[in-house]
C-alpha cells in the first residue's frame, strides 16, 4: 500500500485529469456516433435542441411539443448559461458534447471533496469509480437533460461545505437550483444535514429557506404561470399526475405520506424498486450506507422516484438518478474516512481499496454499463447503409420547412421553429392532457417511421391507426420518398402517391393467389420501375384481397435468394404499415400496398428469386401456408 500511496501522491493530480479526458473523449465520440446513426429514440434531445434553437432565433424558450414555454414544464434556468455556447455552435451535437464534458468534469470536484477526508489514493479511486458508475454512462447516452449539470455543481457545493467556505457553497447551490426545480429539495435537505453536523446557523437557515422558497415558487407560481393549460396540469405542475395515487394536490400527497406510511412504504418498496436501490449503491460496495446522515439530502429525491407511477423514475438508466449520484459518493467518502479511523482497517487499507474497486468493476459488468462495453457501443452506433439513407430523407426536407416526425428524426430536424412530434398524432392528445391534438395547419412535410419503437410501445392506443390514417388522408399527403417502413410525405396529393389504395381488377405482373387463413388472399406483386437507376430502393407493389374474418398479419418477410437457393438478403415489412388494411378494409375489396425496400450495398447485381413468408398474424402463430411462393 505504501508504494501505491507514494505513486498516487506523485501522480494522482495528473491522473484524475487523464481519466476525465478519456471519459469526455469516449462519451463525446459515442454520442456523436449515436446522433449520426439516428440512435436517439426519445424526444428529450430534440426537445432541448429545439428550445435552445428557438431561444437564439427570437422565440425565447419556446417548446413546440407542448406549444408553450419550456418553463411550463420544468424550471431549467441553466439554459441561459448554455445559450451563449449554443449560439456559437448551433447543433444538437453541442448539447451532447456539453453534457459529456460536465458529467466528466464532475470527477474533479469529487476528487477535491475526497481529498478533504482521504489521501490521494482513495480520492483518485473514488473519482475513477464515479467515472465508471453505471448510471453515469447510461444517462450520458440517454438523450440530453439539463438537470444532469447539477451533478457537477453539487459536488462543488459539497466540497465547499467540507471546506466551510460558505460564500462558494452558496454559489454552487445556487447554480444547482438553476438546473431543475427538484434540486431545491436536495438544497433544503442540505440545511437539515448542516443542522446534524452542528454547523453555524447560516449553514442551516439559508439552504432551508432557499430550498423551500425555490420549490414552492417553481411549482406554485412560475411553472403554472408559463403552463398554457394550467388547470389540466394539476395546479399547473404537469408531473403531479405521476403521484395522483397519493392525492390531487401537494397538501393531499403530504397527508397521505404522513398518515398512511405503511401503504406508502408498500408502494415504494416493491421488488423492482428494491432492485433499483440495490443497483444505486452496489458500485460503491454499499459503503454509502455506513454514513446514513450524509444520505439525508437524498430522502425527498428517493421518495420522488420511488413513489412515482412512472417505472422510468425508479431506474438507473435514466436522468432521474442524477440528483442522487453526488450524495452516493459523498456518503462513500464519509464512510471510508470513518472506517480508516479504525486501527485494524487502517493497517489493512489496501483491502478496503480493493473492496471498492472490485465492486466498481463487478457492477460495471453486472449492469452492462456503457463504460465496460465501449466496443459494443461503437459497433451499435456506427453508420451503415440504413442510417445513410435516413440522412437522405432528412436532407430532402428544406431547411426551415415545418415538419412533423417520429422520434428518431426529431434531433436532426431541430433547427427550425416548426418542429412537431408524430406521437401526438398517434395518441390523439396533447402531452399530459386530455385535450385532443390538432396538427398545425402550416405543416409541409411528415417523416414517419411506422415502426418507431417508443411511439409503438407508449403512444399507440387502439385508436392510433385511425388517427394516423386520418392525418395522412385529411392532410392531402403524398409519399415523396420511402425506405422500408419509413416514409417521407409532402403536402399535396398526386395520383398513385399513396401507401395503400383500393384498386379494381388490377393487372398483376407476378400473380400468386396465396390464401392466408381464409381471411386474406395475397394476389401477387409488381416490381415498379421508378426511373432511378442509381438508387438502391426496390419498389414493390403488393395486392391483397379481404375475403372474411378480422385477423390480419402483423408483419411478413421478403427473401431474396440466388439461383443456387442461397438466401442473400431478407427484409421485413409491417403489414399495411401498421395503420392501413384494418377496420377500413371492406370484404371483397382489393388493396394495393406500395413498399420500398433498401437493397444492401454489398449485394451483387444479378437475378434473384423473391419469396414471401412466413406471415406473422396478430392473433396466433405463423400462417400455415407460409406463402413462400416465388
Residue 195: pLDDT band with limits 50, 70, 90? very high
- Residue where one domain finishes, among candidates 467, 491, 515: 491
Instruction: Give yes or no for a contact between 526 and 540, defined as CB atoms under 8 angstroms apart.
Output: yes
Q: Quickly tell me which residue has 456539453 as its cell.
A: 98
Query: 20: burial class by Cβ within 10 Å (0-12, 13-18, 19+)?
Result: buried
Residue 21 domain flag: yes
Q: CB neighbours of 48 closer than 8 A, spacing ≥ 6?
A: 92, 95, 143, 144, 145, 146
Per the structure, the count of domains in the chain is: 3
The answer to whether residues 76 and 15 belong to one domain is yes
The answer to whether residues 477 and 524 belong to one domain is no
Residue 457 domain flag: yes
**Pairwise CA distance, residues 52 & 209, whole Å:** 31
Four-CA torsion 214, 218, 221, 224, nearest 10 degrees: 180
- pLDDT of 237 reads 59
Other residues' Cβ atoms within 10 Å of the Cβ of residue 6:
12
Instruction: Give yes or no for a contact between 57 and 118, defined as CB atoms under 8 angstroms apart.
Output: no
The answer to whether residues 224 and 84 belong to one domain is yes
Question: CA 117: distance to chain centroid?
Answer: 37
Domain that holds residue 544: 500-617
**Pairwise CA distance, residues 289 & 303, whole Å:** 17
The answer to whether residues 486 and 571 belong to one domain is no
Helix axes 183-196, 166-177, angle to 10 degrees: 150
The answer to whether residues 317 and 266 belong to one domain is yes
φ, ψ (nearest 5 deg) of residue 525? -150, 160
Residue 334 domain flag: yes
- Sign of dihedral through CA atoms 327, 329, 331, 334? negative
**Pairwise CA distance, residues 425 & 415, whole Å:** 21
- Residue where one domain finishes, among candidates 491, 510, 536: 491
Report the candidate in 31, 39, 57, 45 with the shortest Cα–Cα distance to residue 421: 45
- Sign of dihedral through CA atoms 130, 100, 419, 39? negative
Residue 348 domain flag: yes
The x, y and z cell numbers of residue 452, run together, are 418507431
φ, ψ (nearest 5 deg) of residue 545? -130, 130
For residue 34, is pLDDT > 90? yes
φ, ψ (nearest 5 deg) of residue 516? -105, 100
- pLDDT of 173 reads 98
**Pairwise CA distance, residues 367 & 355, whole Å:** 18
- pLDDT of 497 reads 61
Q: CB neighbours of 211 closer than 8 A, spacing ≥ 6?
A: 184, 185, 186, 187, 188, 189, 190, 191
For residue 230, is pLDDT > 60? no
- Ranking 108-112, 255-259, 321-325 by mean pLDDT, the lowest is 255-259
- pLDDT of 532 reads 64
For residue 590, give the CATH number of its domain. 2.60.40
Q: What is the mean pLDDT of residues 373-389?
A: 93
Residue 391 domain flag: no
User: Whole-prediction pTM value?
Assistant: 0.93
- Ranking 262-266, 367-371, 461-465, 621-625 by mean pLDDT, the lowest is 621-625
The answer to whether residues 198 and 326 belong to one domain is yes
The answer to whether residues 428 and 314 belong to one domain is no
Residue 109 domain flag: yes
pLDDT tens-digit readout, 488-521:
999 886 655 679 999 998 999 999 999 998 899 9
For residue 448, is pLDDT > 90? yes
Residue 623 domain flag: no
Residue 157 domain flag: yes
The answer to whether residues 487 and 504 belong to one domain is no
**Pairwise CA distance, residues 355 & 472, whole Å:** 59
For residue 249, is pLDDT > 90? no
Report the candidate in 157, 114, 106 with the shortest Cα–Cα distance to residue 336: 114
- The rounded radius of gyration (Å) of the Cα atoms in the chain is 28
Q: What is the DSSP track for 175-227?
A: HHHTT-TTHHHHHHHHHHHHHHTT--HHHHHHHHHHHHHHHHHIIIIIHHHH-
The answer to whether residues 73 and 92 belong to one domain is yes
Length of the chain: 630
Specify the 3-state DSSP secondary structure of 398: coil
Specify the 3-state DSSP secondary structure of 34: helix
**Pairwise CA distance, residues 601 & 580, whole Å:** 30
The answer to whether residues 113 and 135 belong to one domain is yes
For residue 630, is pLDDT > 60? no
The answer to whether residues 106 and 176 belong to one domain is yes
The answer to whether residues 265 and 195 belong to one domain is yes
- Residue where one domain finishes, among candidates 491, 512, 543: 491
Other residues' Cβ atoms within 10 Å of the Cβ of residue 453:
13
What value, to the nearest 5°, has the Cα angle with vertex 279 and ends 156 and 115? 30
Of all residues in the chain, the percent with pLDDT exceeding 70 is 95
Specify the 3-state DSSP secondary structure of 540: strand
Of all residues in the chain, the percent with pLDDT exceeding 90 is 76
Q: CB neighbours of 2 closer than 8 A, spacing ≥ 6?
A: none
**3-state DSSP helix/strand/coil % of the chain, to nearest 5:** 55, 15, 30
Amino acid at each position: 500500500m505504501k508504494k501505491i500511496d507514494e505513486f498516487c501522491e506523485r501522480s494522482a493530480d495528473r491522473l484524475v485529469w487523464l481519466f476525465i479526458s478519456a471519459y469526455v473523449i469516449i462519451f463525446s465520440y459515442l454520442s456523436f456516433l449515436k446522433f449520426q446513426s439516428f440512435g436517439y429514440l426519445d424526444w428529450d434531445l430534440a426537445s432541448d435542441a429545439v428550445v435552445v434553437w428557438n431561444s437564439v432565433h427570437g422565440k425565447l424558450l419556446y417548446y413546440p411539443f407542448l406549444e408553450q414555454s419550456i418553463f411550463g414544464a420544468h424550471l431549467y434556468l441553466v439554459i441561459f448559461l448554455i445559450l451563449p455556447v449554443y449560439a456559437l455552435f448551433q447543433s444538437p451535437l453541442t448539447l451532447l458534447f456539453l453534457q459529456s464534458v460536465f458529467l466528466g468534469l464532475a470527477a474533479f470536484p469529487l476528487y477535491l471533496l475526497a481529498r478533504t477526508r482521504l489521501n490521494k489514493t482513495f480520492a483518485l479511486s473514488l473519482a475513477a469509480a464515479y467515472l465508471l458508475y453505471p448510471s453515469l454512462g447510461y444517462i450520458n447516452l440517454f438523450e440530453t437533460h439539463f438537470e444532469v449539470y447539477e451533478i457537477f455543481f453539487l459536488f462543488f457545493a459539497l466540497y465547499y461545505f467540507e471546506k466551510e467556505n460558505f460564500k462558494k457553497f452558496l454559489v454552487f447551490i445556487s447554480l444547482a437550483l438553476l438546473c431543475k426545480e427538484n434540486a431545491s429539495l436536495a438544497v433544503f435537505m442540505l440545511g437539515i444535514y448542516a443542522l446534524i453536523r452542528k454547523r453555524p446557523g447560516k449553514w442551516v437557515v439559508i439552504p432551508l429557506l432557499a430550498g423551500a422558497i425555490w420549490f414552492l415558487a417553481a411549482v406554485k407560481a412560475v411553472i403554472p404561470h408559463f403552463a398554457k393549460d394550467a388547470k389540466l396540469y394539476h395546479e399547473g405542475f404537469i408531473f403531479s399526475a405521476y403521484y395522483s395515487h397519493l392525492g390531487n394536490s401537494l397538501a393531499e400527497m403530504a397527508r397521505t405520506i404522513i398518515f398512511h406510511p405503511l401503504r406508502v412504504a408498500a408502494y415504494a418498496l416493491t421488488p423492482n424498486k428494491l432492485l433499483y436501490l440495490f443497483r444505486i449503491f452496489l458500485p460503491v460496495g454499499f459503503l454509502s450506507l455506513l454514513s446514513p446522515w450524509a444520505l439525508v439530502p437524498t430522502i425527498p429525491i428517493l421518495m420522488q422516484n420511488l413513489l412515482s407511477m412512472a417505472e422510468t423514475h425508479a431506474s438507473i438508466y435514466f436522468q432521474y438518478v442524477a440528483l442522487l449520484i453526488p450524495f452516493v459518493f459523498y456518503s462513500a467518502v464519509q464512510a471510508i474516512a470513518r472506517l480508516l479511523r479504525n486501527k485494524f482497517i487502517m493497517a489493512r487499507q489496501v483491502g478496503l481499496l480493493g473492496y471498492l474497486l472490485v465492486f466498481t468493476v463487478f457492477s460495471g459488468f453486472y449492469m452492462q454499463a456503457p463504460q465496460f462495453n465501449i466496443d459494443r457501443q461503437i459497433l451499435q452506433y456506427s453508420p451503415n447503409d440504413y442510417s445513410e439513407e435516413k440522412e437522405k430523407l432528412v436532407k430532402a426536407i428544406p431547411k426551415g420547412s415545418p415538419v412533423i416526425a417520429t422520434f428518431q428524426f426529431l434531433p436532426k430536424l431541430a433547427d427550425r421553429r416548426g418542429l412537431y412530434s408524430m406521437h401526438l398524432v398517434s395518441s390523439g392528445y396533447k402531452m399530459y392532457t386530455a385535450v385532443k391534438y390538432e396538427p398545425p395547419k402550416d405543416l409541409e412535410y411528415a417523416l414517419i417511421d411506422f415502426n418507431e419503437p417508443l411511439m409503438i410501445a407508449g403512444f399507440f392506443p387502439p385508436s392510433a391507426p385511425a388517427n394516423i390514417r386520418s392525418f395522412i388522408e385529411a392532410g392531402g399527403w403524398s409519399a415523396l420518398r420511402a425506405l422500408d417502413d419509413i416514409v417521407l410525405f409532402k403536402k399535396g396529393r398526386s395520383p398513385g402517391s399513396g401507401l395503400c389504395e383500393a384498386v379494381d381488377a388490377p393487372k398483376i405482373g407476378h400473380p400468386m393467389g396465396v390464401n392466408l387463413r381464409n381471411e386474406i388472399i395475397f394476389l401477387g406483386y409488381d416490381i415498379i420501375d421508378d426511373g432511378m437507376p442509381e438508387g438502391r430502393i426496390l419498389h414493390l407493389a403488393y395486392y391483397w384481397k379481404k375475403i372474411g374474418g378480422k385477423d390480419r398479419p402483423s408483419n411478413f418477410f421478403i427473401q431474396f435468394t440466388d439461383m443456387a437457393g442461397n438466401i442473400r438478403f431478407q427484409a421485413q415489412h409491417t403489414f399495411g404499415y401498421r395503420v392501413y388494411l384494418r377496420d377500413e378494409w371492406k370484404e371483397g375489396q382489393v388493396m394495393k400496398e406500395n413498399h420500398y425496400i433498401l437493397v444492401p450495398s454489398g449485394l451483387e447485381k444479378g437475378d434473384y428469386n423473391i419469396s414471401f413468408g412466413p406471415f406473422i398474424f396478430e392473433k396466433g402463430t405463423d400462417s400455415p401456408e407460409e406463402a413462400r411462393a416465388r
